[in-house]
Structure 1
């Protein structure tokens, strides 16, 4: 990932990765061996050169497809980048027969990927909201259920027979394309015939549009983490017994910091940033979608001045005299002042991915003084590996309700798994004299 400077009180971590898949499949140190008559047989490793465009297909939703291959074959599968960014090296480690089986399964998946085709379906303009849903909930669920990749064109076409309509482009295997088409047609038909839209209800999950966001100043910027939607929050809330892998992306203090869940969505976000940057750097696109009159609360595409790339953000404050806006970057949790001329309309195709930043509070500790000192915040940023894109282990201890917030804030335990002994970050803050222990049950 591109490195961003560690800034006191606002540790930032917006960046993209040239080596997209390292963060997805961290190299395992596990070794396979078996003893026959006192002799040791070590595992073998086979390497495959795969197109990087194929990897999301291989990973599947949340890495499930790849995990199934590993579990079925009892192998460890890792990835590293090639000099040619169009390819990645896939290494498969395990016993010979297992490695061969995993190799065959991956090649079979690659064959299915090469069969991917393209089809179109027209959606009447008046039915568009049914298919998309609030905050694209229905649209995202259709992709997830069908396994197809679906895009929709910004342009509205006019037909004498059906009036205005949008073209939806469906990419996938024949089975995936057919399933996506059937789902979309059912959604449209159910509404047209007056049948109860249980298909829509099945797809919908509570989400938020820009109209739901509070239009207040920077002190309320954490309210914009609401828009990450239910998938990300639910994943944490429903896994309170388990540790999950996360990155700490931004820090204000141990009481307020932001995480991203480590996994396939990391590379999806990196690709999104690359696509947005390429799009908004085009002068024709910039002139067409530049926002002349920004509004507080609007979700936009904005440049991050430190690296010149474009990210999704929420406008928090306007400075008419300086012609700047304060932007809260919703995928990372940090904020920055951005020239008004570098703020653009966020197009629908850049809105499909859920906002990734999740606000958390460190559990089990209180500041030694009335508030966290600058030294404590700096040490917490270092201990949490903020902006270093190294995985920590996170466990939700409980949740803290906040007035005016639709979802509670997770109070969490953070552990750095590296080194001979895993380090509990709350205990490290206490050891360094920055914090005192607190009974988590009283939080």
Structure 2
């Protein structure tokens, strides 16, 4: 705010003169504090709303100037203070930039947590008092908080750079009008075998896949790339458009939630809705609506605990449009260094090699298929990064991806070579495929 106002109010007065507008800073949306303090009790001025009055053209010009001033400053505003042996940091970002930090299905923010070692919590929408700014809390050591700040700044700067390159095209796009959606397609009466309603990897030849969620090299989830990924993105957008409308959510609120139900749920770290399966229910003794529901996102492989009132009935059209896309896999030929448990360092390295947050395609070769718990399929796969040519340690160009003379990166071999895993006793020879 001080940067926009300028010393002695000089800059904001100049903006008003140049644009023929009146500008004020409204504290109505501040998170509050003590008397004479519009901050959070720790000296942090959490939010102030800029109000611009004038003609449509004049206010648009003033807004553009103010946004440019803000953009030239650091992407985030930070404040930290000591709490016992750790520190707590705050960052304030434009609400429009929160999605950049969270990333697709929450993978970017999880990567920032893993790399920095800090805990990051996004201010829930229900508690936001400022419609244009969002607060994030960061807990950790001073070094971890500083690393998290830097990673978030880099992510926002990268996304802003990409957005600026497309700004001219965006300005020509019409703004869609939001309205309730209706579904008139009659539901089919034929039952689905939900335990086996998943896409399948081709067991002959190879598959282009994205790694969408990782627990360890022994358990991770992939999605089919190419047209399959496009169909899923379109389905998610349609589900989101339908369930973002409050009238639609009210009309199809479930009367009860049971284990195994396929439902529609939001993802806490973005503005989208997804298909999920109820895997556990923690019932509240006081009220059913205060119960917590553990859900598995059937198209991505993530598992989260949500509030009962966040659960919605999934319309049959969205269920039958596309088989579930998250296929459970294990990496062929590797095991933990201690033969028991995967270290966090090994898991993090596997996430990096599999491009978890970058959605780069990998090549998956099915070695065998296992049945888990008597019904769930798990593919044991070779995972090859054709984006890398290990003979030159460079990115592979598209015309070299299928060149037999190019040595692509075998992720299992790389984990072994870097001492993040050891070869399994019964499969010591892992081929580069």
| TM-score, length basis structure 1 | 0.49
Q: Identify the match of residue 339 of structure 1 among 284, 297, 307.
A: 307
The residue number in structure 2 matching 1:236 is 202
Q: Identify the match of residue 440 of structure 1 among 417, 424, 427.
A: 427
2 CA distance for matches of 1:227 and 1:122?
21
Q: Identify the match of residue 316 of structure 1 among 279, 284, 306.
A: 279
The residue number in structure 2 matching 1:134 is 191
Check if 1:395 corresponds to 2:365.
Answer: yes
Q: Identify the match of residue 381 of structure 1 among 351, 356, 362.
A: 351
Shift of 1:268: 1.3
Check if 1:83 corresponds to 2:181.
Answer: no
Aligned to 2:387, the other structure's residue is in SS state: coil
Aligned to 1:389, the other structure's residue is in SS state: coil
Shift of 1:326: 1.1
Q: CA contact under 8 A between 1:328 and 1:336: conserved in structure 2? A: yes
The residue number in structure 2 matching 1:262 is 225
1 CA distance for matches of 2:261 and 2:374?
19
Q: CA contact under 8 A between 2:389 and 2:409: conserved in structure 1? A: no
Shift of 1:281: 1.4
Shift of 1:236: 2.1
Q: CA contact under 8 A between 2:185 and 2:317: conserved in structure 1? A: no
1 CA distance for matches of 2:429 and 2:389?
32
**CA pair 441-399 structure 1, distance change in 2 beyond 3 A:** farther
Aligned to 1:268, the other structure's residue is in SS state: helix
The residue number in structure 2 matching 1:425 is 411
The residue number in structure 2 matching 1:5 is 107
2 CA distance for matches of 1:400 and 1:81?
49
Q: Identify the match of residue 246 of structure 1 among 192, 209, 221.
A: 209
1 CA distance for matches of 2:358 and 2:342?
22
Aligned to 1:419, the other structure's residue is in SS state: strand
User: Which structure 1 segments of 5+ residues have no match?
Assistant: 12-79, 88-120, 136-207, 214-225
Shift of 1:264: 0.9
The residue number in structure 2 matching 1:349 is 317
User: Which structure 2 segments of 5+ residues have no match?
Assistant: 1-99, 115-165, 174-183, 285-289, 391-407
Q: CA contact under 8 A between 1:291 and 1:341: conserved in structure 2? A: no
Aligned to 2:388, the other structure's residue is in SS state: coil
Spell out the pairing of 1:70-149 with structure 2 (5 A cutoff).
Answer: 83=169, 129=189, 133-135=190-192
**CA pair 81-361 structure 1, distance change in 2 beyond 3 A:** farther
2 CA distance for matches of 1:318 and 1:246?
32
Shift of 1:122: 11
Aligned to 1:417, the other structure's residue is in SS state: strand
Shift of 1:372: 0.8
The residue number in structure 2 matching 1:282 is 245
The residue number in structure 1 matching 2:293 is 325
Q: CA contact under 8 A between 1:250 and 1:387: conserved in structure 2? A: no
Shift of 1:403: 4.3
Q: Deviations over 1:379-425 (max 9, x none)?
A: 1111111132110111111222334126x421100111123322111
Check if 1:372 corresponds to 2:342.
Answer: yes
**CA pair 134-294 structure 1, distance change in 2 beyond 3 A:** closer
Q: Which structure's CA Rg is the greater one?
A: 2
Shift of 1:319: 2.5
Aligned to 2:242, the other structure's residue is in SS state: helix
2 CA distance for matches of 1:425 and 1:259?
15
Q: CA contact under 8 A between 1:304 and 1:338: conserved in structure 2? A: no
2 CA distance for matches of 1:298 and 1:441?
42
Q: Deviations over 1:271-301 (max 9, x none)?
A: 1111111111111111111224211110000
Give the CA RMSD over aligned residues. Answer: 3.2
Q: CA contact under 8 A between 1:331 and 1:357: conserved in structure 2? A: yes
Q: CA contact under 8 A between 1:312 and 1:346: conserved in structure 2? A: yes
**CA pair 243-86 structure 1, distance change in 2 beyond 3 A:** farther
Shift of 1:84: 6.0
Q: Deviations over 1:231-263 (max 9, x none)?
A: x22x423x2xx2221000000010000000101
Q: Deviations over 1:290-316 (max 9, x none)?
A: 224211110000011111310000011
2 CA distance for matches of 1:403 and 1:442?
29
Q: Deviations over 1:42-73 (max 9, x none)?
A: xxxxxxxxxxxxxxxxxxxxxxxxxxxxxxxx
Spell out the pairing of 1:169-180 with structure 2 (5 A cutoff).
Answer: none
1 CA distance for matches of 2:420 and 2:229?
32
Q: CA contact under 8 A between 2:206 and 2:364: conserved in structure 1? A: yes
